[in-house]
Each structure stands twice: as structure tokens, then as C-alpha cells.
Amino acid sequence: MDLIVQPEDGATPLLQAIEGAKKSLDLMIFRFDLKDVEKALAAAVSRGVAVRALIAHTNSGGEKRLRQLELRMLDKGVTVSRSGDDWARYHGKVMIVDRDELHVYGFNYTEIDLTSRSFGVVTKDGKAVSEALRLFEADDLRQDFEPAADCLVVSPENAREELATFIKRAKKTLSIYDPKVTDAQMIRLLHQRVKAGVDVRIIGKVGKRAGDLRVQKFPGKRLHVRAMIRDGDTAFVGSQSLRSLELDGRREVGLITKDPKVLKRMGEVFDDDWTKTELGKKETKHFEKEQKQADEVVADVTQS
């Protein structure tokens, strides 16, 4: 399993995946303006790869750009489908390569998202890939989807249950990236974890019931990721915030993983971002002061 970190990795992992495809590419698209990726998809079609794009029926940028995207994709030989309008948004960001490699992104296929803090997860886990393929086929045919594996977090079908369970199981630490946490149940669960002694840190925003939660504004240019790291051994990366609409009324897709390499890198990125926040700077300064005092005590004891 691999972790994609934005803005550090840029479009390179996407282009490498598309250029390496031999048989098929299936993409769920909410926003798209990456010219290099569009060219890579056209080149894939030219070499015989079956490329399918399932494009959102609408987004806040208006339908005109989406319809123009559909026409460009069709012109390049991509098989295009439009998502149904059963959901307020078709917001998932997924790519499946050769039916054996799954990409789940927190970022869209856009220049602005590639310059924002975000993550993507790439896996060849058979259960996750199979589940994502079933989801793609169901949405492509506008049929109901029934989750069969808890590794894939799908809104609205199982996201609320899976993410609530994810939070409840935190015993020591819970690090969260989220542009806006507003769901009452999720905020209540976070407060319960704090009362249970869990160190909860949130980079992003929380609604009016933040209370004693440690919440800090992202210190960089832009935050566009929904991710959680629990106890250093389990992580979630996806497109759904802890907001009622994204849990219950939109198509969102995320992945839960226990891969050590992914966990280590995500934790490092979060900790580095946290140290750059206002609270993080204060905590670092306090820790350095305590460490200095401890070192002085040890030095005095040694000299005596």
C-alpha cells in the first residue's frame, strides 16, 4: 500500500498509474481540470486501455464545465457515464487500475487540490478493490449498492456507522484533518473520547460545539483532506467530512487501513503540520522548556 501526500507528490502518482495501465481504468470524477492527466487518459485509450469515467451530475462550479468535460472525454474515446441525482453531490474520488489496484483520494483531479494538503491511498488489497468495483458498477448502472466489506467507507450506506466506530475505538490518540466537523453525533463522540483520556487533535474547523476539543486552523495555504489516524495503528482517508450531509446525503468514498508504512507517513505529516499551528508552537515551546529544565537537573546531579 502507498500513500500519496499533497502538495508534495503532485500529479506524478496519477500519471504513473494511468501510464502503467494495461487493460482498464475506471474513474469517479467530481472535479477535473488537469490537462496532463486528460492527455494521459487519451493516450491510454490509444494503446487499447478501456477507460471509463463516471462523472458527477453537478457540482458548485456549475454543470456547464462537467458537460464540457464529458464531451472532451467522449471525443478522446473514453466511455462516459453520468452519476444519478439521488444524492446532493457525487463527491467520491476513485480510480481503479486494471481491476486490481485501487486509488482512493481526498483530492479532486484539479490544480488547486494538488497544491493543497491532501492524501490519497493506493492498494492492491483484493477485498477493497472488489468492493470498489462493485460500487463503480452499481453507480454506473444507477443501482442500489449494499456494502460487503468494512474497509471501504461509503456514504450514505455505511459511513456514519464505520466512522463512528472508528472514533469510539480510539484509546490513546486521535489525529484528525477535517475542513469542517459539524455532525452532532460525531462531535459528541469526540468529546467522549477526550473525557476518556484520549489525546484528540483536529486540524481544520469544528462547529459551535467544539468545547474543550483542541482544534487548530491548517497552517498552510489550503486544507482539502478528510483523514483520521487512531492510536498510531489505524487510519482513514477519504472524501467525507464529519458533516451530516457528507455522511448521509452524498456519495462519498473512503478507505480504512492498518498499513504501517502509510500510518507512519501520515503521522509524520500530521505532527509536522501540528507543530506549525499556533497551539502546536506553544506546546513545542513548553516541551523544549521542560526538556531544558530536565537536562539541567541531570547535569547538576552529575556534577555533584
The predicted structure's pLDDT at residue 292: 60
pLDDT digits (tens, 9 = 90+) for 33-89: 999 999 999 999 999 999 999 999 998 877 888 999 999 999 999 999 999 988 989
**Dihedral Cα 130, 135, 140, 141, nearest 10 deg:** 100
Mean pLDDT calculated for residue range 101-123: 98
CATH 3.30.870.10 assigned to domain 159-285? The reply is: yes
From residue 274, alpha-carbon distances to 43, 123, 177, 229 in Å are 41, 27, 10, 13
Superfamily of domain 2-150, CATH level 4: Endonuclease Chain A (3.30.870.10)
Give CA–CA dist 258/236, Å, rounded: 9
Sequence-ordered alpha helix ranges (H) in the chain: 12-20, 35-46, 63-75, 111-114, 126-140, 159-168, 184-195, 244-248, 260-275, 278-303
Give CA–CA dist 209/135, Å, rounded: 34
Average pLDDT value for the chain: 94
pLDDT digits (tens, 9 = 90+) for 206-265: 988 888 899 999 999 999 999 999 999 999 999 999 999 999 999 999 999 999 999 999
Return the domain boundaries, the chain: 2-150, 159-285
Q: What is the pTM of this model?
A: 0.92
Answer yes or no: same fold for 2-150 and 159-285: yes
Mean pLDDT calculated for residue range 26-34: 97
The predicted structure's pLDDT at residue 284: 81
Report which of 194, 252, 200 is spatially closest to residue 226, judged by C-alpha positions: 252
Q: Residue 96 is placed in which grid cell?
A: 481503479
